[in-house]
Amino acid sequence: MQTVILCGGNSSRFWPLGQDKHKSFSKICGKTLLEYTIDSASKITKDIIIVKRPDFNEKAIDFEKYRKKEIHISFAEQKNPGGMGNALLCAKKQINDDFFLVFPNHFACDTLMKKMLDNKDVLLGKKTTTPQLYGIFEFKNNKPKKIVEKPAKGKEPSDTRIVGLYHLSKEFLNILDNQKPSEYNFEEALNILLESNKVEVKIIKEELNSIKYPFHLLAIKNSIFDSFLKPGISKSAKIAKSAIIGKNVYIGKNTILMEGAIVKNNVYVGDNCVIGNHSVVRDYTNVEDDVVVGAHSEIKNSVIYSGTSIHRSYIGDSVIGQNCRFGAGCITSNRLFRKQGIRPQIQCFIEAKKKHINTGITSLGIICGDDIDVGTNVNFMPGVLIESNARVMPNSMVKENIKR
């Protein structure tokens, strides 16, 4: 039995993150999403195939640690993005048995994989109140007959959507290989497989974390914190006597908390960071290595990647890439005005789709790529995305995405 993890594709919907690396290399608590998924999947199978895109940086992850645990990891390359079916077929020659197919954000996939061990060709289903957004099972005599993609309202064949984790037989690859190359040939092959009446659907209550869009990283972060964050303060950290540290907090090596700094509950701060005088870091914030949070700043429910410095600013519900510089007085607005007493959900303009989409959340600041310079006294409106290497001039009001 094997596990195939799909890390191909160009992550275009993940813009402005993932411009030079696959989204599975996003880090939370000092560890990539891909590593969490490998750790989870290897509890079920020790033979793992990673389908990678050409710029996949194998040196960015210590794969030797898995070999020492007798976990065999091999790679198949998807040279050009061609959809999920194409990615899977890139690994066809290496698949020699029935296999699990997972995505690199399935960081707790072992629990669901256990439920699928009894049989080959097992799919997962979950009840939904919005079938128009998903692939929906059509059943006949309680047997799954086909999957209808995003059915029109009133024409839903059931209220059960397919969940993106699969246990498939090797024979499925032959069905897939016989389909014409297309973005949806995987789904077409699944429908042919369903016609055999040999497929089992297991209904689950658990939710798999999605990471299509960059704002999904905030929800992924919270789930990882709840499952994996181990509190502790490194011996080499320098903590001022007047600093305050809450519950479930990790402070990394050589990190400095200056006088009056507050690190509240559920926070990860990596190595070699500085949390300045009277700054507040709170509410599920993830700070990677070598970050400087300047005096009198506040960071809330955000991801701050390595090498970034923030000078006397407010960053809320945001993702900030590597090596960014924020001048003093920068504010990320993260909520919209109330309508009839209710906060509206925030929309983002997704460059890959050339349209605004509803994020489904009411608190969202900004999403920044890497190496961005932001001048002093800049205000950002909710849901703004900023491309890597962009420059934001002082005293700006930013309402729309910035492309360099």
Res 293: pLDDT: 98
More confident call, 293 vs 210: 293
Distance (Å, whole) CA 274 – CA 295: 10
Q: Which CATH superfamily is domain 216-398 in?
A: Hexapeptide repeat proteins (2.160.10.10)
Res 331: pLDDT: 98
Res 41: pLDDT: 96
Structural contact between residues 111 and 204, judged by C-beta atoms closer than 8 angstroms? no
Res 55: pLDDT: 86
Res 184: pLDDT: 84
The domains of the chain are located at: 2-203, 216-398
**pLDDT band with cut points at 50, 70 and 90 for residue 191:** very high
Chain-wide mean pLDDT for the chain?
94
Average pLDDT score over residue span 4-28: 89
**pLDDT band with cut points at 50, 70 and 90 for residue 310:** very high
Q: Strand, helix or coil at 300?
A: strand
Res 197: pLDDT: 83
User: What's 229's DSSP letter?
Assistant: -
Res 198: pLDDT: 86
Res 268: pLDDT: 98
Domain 2-203 architecture: Alpha-Beta Complex (3.90)
Whether pLDDT at 83 is above 90: no
Whether pLDDT at 141 is above 90: no
DSSP string, 9-39: S--GGGTTTTSSS-GGG-EETTEEHHHHHHH
Res 182: pLDDT: 84
DSSP string, 363-384: ---EEE-SS-EE-SS-EE-TTE
